[in-house]
């Protein structure tokens, strides 16, 4: 059996170990928030936003942000059919209804025309997910939001390092959410971040994030409203501080891996990697390869071929509308079609060139037999 190639794996150096060790030894009592505040400040500076709140997950950040916008029973929230369930679950937990629309075949992100067509009097938000680090058409989505008075939220969990016409993904919407799960571009093991430029929204989420205790409340153990508990620990934040200190290097490595796949595959007819639109820089969290319909290559045959070569490759997300809790419907057209003939390629930071060549050799074998 050939050695295993993992699809993602964190890049951990002495720095992460040193900070985590320090937080474990010393980050208690009056020091128990130091790494958390440092991590929030550094992440905010990287993105160029006014406010950041570290959370235990991206799902938690989304849940609190949607609650702070007042989303609840009877409301509708529009998002793409192609998504991980984490972007949709908080909508359901708040009693609202996710409304799924199709993706664009080129970018794999939300189709703005279909978003506008799906708006009803109940629509309370649009969630733009920058899938695999590709960018949603934020100009179009923000214009639609403005026209209809509906906030546009950015789930930028996959888009660290992605830039839309000079603005970082996650910094453009009513709020942005990030994930530091072990598979993401920077990690804290589990973790997330809520970011916003809106002072009032920040204050509400800050209160919600601390079991509803306002930071101006003088009384002990006195919640002012029913809140949530989605906080990040100081030890996790210590790892985050080291990762964010290395963020440019970590993004550059992801981009270099995608670039190298492009080079190695440049003469391959019949398959295509992530699209890079003019004016958009993609953070390249996840290289995904889509095969032309004429090649007859399917997601199933790709999974089997990668598994046989001991390479950990993953499927493109299933259309959410096809999942049982959303009614097992037929997925949206492009969402279903792209999923049926594509595969996520391994892209962990420490991956070497030989491993990338092995992946590409396998792809050639599938294409040319
Ligand atoms: C990973 C991911 C999430 C979930 O992040 P958690 O930190 O695991 O909650 C949410 N949205 C997107 C787009 C993701 O890729």
Where a domain ends, among 215, 245, 275? 245
Q: What percent of the chain has pLDDT over 70?
A: 100
59 lines ligand 1 (CB under 6 A): yes
Strand partners of residue 178: 193
Alpha helices (H) along 34-84: 34-47, 58-68
335 lines ligand 1 (CB under 6 A): no
Q: Answer yes or no: do 241 and 267 share one domain.
A: no
Is residue 119 left, alpha or beta, with left meaning phi > 0 and alpha meaning psi from -120 to 50?
beta
Domain count, the chain: 2
Domain with residue 81: its CATH number is 3.40.640.10
Do residues 257 and 284 make contact, with C-beta atoms less than 8 angstroms apart? yes
The pLDDT of residue 1:
85
Centre a 10 Å sphere on the Cβ of residue 139 and count the other Cβ atoms it contains.
Answer: 13
Centre a 10 Å sphere on the Cβ of residue 312 and count the other Cβ atoms it contains.
Answer: 16
Residue nearest to atom 12 of ligand 1 (CA): 157
88 CA → ligand 1 middle, Å: 10
pLDDT digits (tens, 9 = 90+) for 334-369: 999 999 999 999 999 999 999 999 999 999 999 998
> What is the 3-state secondary structure of 251-320?
HHHHHHHHHHHHHHCCCCCCEECCCCCCCEECCCCCCEEEECHHHCCCHHHHHHHHHHCCECCEECCCEH
Q: Answer yes or no: do 149 and 84 share one domain.
A: yes
Gap between the Cα atoms of 20 and 32, Å rounded: 13
Q: Answer yes or no: do 315 and 346 share one domain.
A: yes
Q: Answer yes or no: do 200 and 135 share one domain.
A: yes
- The boundaries of the domain holding residue 270 are 248-368
180 CA: nearest ligand 1 atom: 7
Q: Is the pTM of this model over 0.85?
A: yes
DSSP designation for 31: G
Is 18 contained in some domain? yes
Gap between the Cα atoms of 123 and 41, Å rounded: 33
Sign of torsion over alpha carbons 247, 9, 181, 106: positive
Is 2 contained in some domain? no
Q: Answer yes or no: do 112 and 28 share one domain.
A: yes
- Kindly state the average pLDDT of the residues 150-155: 98
Q: Answer yes or no: do 236 and 275 share one domain.
A: no
- Kindly state the average pLDDT of the residues 69-88: 98
pLDDT digits (tens, 9 = 90+) for 105-136: 999 999 999 999 999 999 999 999 999 999 99
The pLDDT of residue 89:
98
Q: Answer yes or no: do 285 and 352 share one domain.
A: yes
Do residues 42 and 241 make contact, with C-beta atoms less than 8 angstroms apart? yes
**What end-to-end distance do the CA atoms of the chain give, in Å?**
21
For residues 197, 218, 234, 198, the Cα torsion angle rounded to the nearest 10 degrees is 0
Gap between the Cα atoms of 98 and 255, Å rounded: 32
Is 31 contained in some domain? yes
Scored b (16 or more CB within 10 A) or e, 169-208 reads bbbbbbbbbbbbbebbbbbbebbbbbbbbbeebbebbbbb
Domain with residue 318: its CATH number is 3.90.1150.10
Longest dimension (CA), the chain: 71
Q: Answer yes or no: do 231 and 272 share one domain.
A: no
157 CA → ligand 1 middle, Å: 5
138 CA → ligand 1 middle, Å: 20
Q: What percent of the chain has pLDDT over 90?
A: 99
Q: Answer yes or no: do 263 and 212 share one domain.
A: no
Gap between the Cα atoms of 80 and 277, Å rounded: 19
- Reported as type and span, the H/E element at residue 220 is none
DSSP designation for 50: S
Where a domain ends, among 220, 245, 270? 245
The pLDDT of residue 37:
98
190 CA → ligand 1 middle, Å: 10
Which among 8, 56, 58, 98 is the best mutation to test ligand 1's pocket, defined by most ligand atoms within 8 Å of the CB?
58
Is 1 contained in some domain? no
Is 6 contained in some domain? no
The pLDDT of residue 307:
97
Q: Answer yes or no: do 207 and 84 share one domain.
A: yes
pLDDT digits (tens, 9 = 90+) for 31-49: 999 999 999 999 999 999 9
Where a domain ends, among 200, 224, 245? 245
Q: Answer yes or no: do 240 and 259 share one domain.
A: no
> Which residue in 201, 252, 203, 237 sits closest to 41, CA to CA?
237
Q: Answer yes or no: do 185 and 307 share one domain.
A: no
């Amino acid at each position: 059996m050939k050695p295993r190639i993992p699809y993602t794996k964190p890049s951990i150096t002495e720095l992460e170990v040193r900070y985590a060790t320090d937080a474990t030894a010393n980050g208690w009592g009056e020091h128990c928030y130091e790494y958390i505040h440092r991590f929030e400040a550094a992440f905010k500076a990287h993105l160029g936003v006014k406010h950041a709140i570290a959370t235990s997950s991206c799902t938690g950040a989304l849940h609190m942000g949607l609650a702070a916008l007042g989303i609840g029973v009877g409301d509708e929230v529009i998002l793409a059919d192609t998504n991980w369930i984490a972007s949709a679950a908080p909508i359901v937990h708040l009693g609202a209804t996710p409304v799924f629309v199709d993706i664009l075949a080129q970018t794999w992100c939300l189709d703005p025309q279909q978003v506008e067509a799906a708006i009803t009097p109940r629509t309370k938000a649009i969630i733009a997910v920058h899938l695999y680090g590709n960018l949603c058409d934020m100009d179009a989505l923000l214009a639609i939001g403005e026209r209809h008075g509906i906030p546009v939220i950015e789930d930028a969990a996959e888009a660290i390092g992605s830039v839309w016409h000079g603005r970082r993904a996650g910094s453009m919407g009513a709020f942005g959410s990030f994930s530091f799960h072990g598979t993401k571009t920077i990690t804290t093991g589990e973790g997330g971040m809520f970011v916003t430029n809106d002072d009032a929204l920040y204050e509400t989420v800050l209160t919600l994030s601390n079991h509803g205790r306002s930071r101006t409340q003088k009384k002990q153990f006195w919640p002012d409203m029913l809140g949530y508990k989605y906080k990040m620990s100081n030890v996790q934040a210590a790892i985050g501080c080291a990762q964010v200190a290395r963020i440019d290097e970590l993004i550059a490595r992801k981009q270099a891996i995608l670039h190298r796949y492009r080079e190695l595959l440049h003469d391959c007819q019949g398959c295509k990697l992530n699209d890079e639109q003019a004016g958009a820089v993609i953070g390249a969290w996840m290289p995904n390869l889509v095969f032309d319909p004429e090649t007859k290559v399917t997601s199933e045959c790709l999974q089997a071929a990668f598994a046989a070569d001991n390479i950990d490759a993953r499927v493109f997300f299933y259309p959410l509308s096809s999942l049982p809790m959303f009614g097992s419907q037929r997925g949206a057209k492009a969402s279903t079609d792209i999923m049926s003939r594509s595969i996520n390629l391994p892209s962990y930071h420490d991956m070497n060139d030989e491993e990338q060549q092995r992946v590409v050799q396998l792809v050639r074998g599938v294409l040319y037999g």
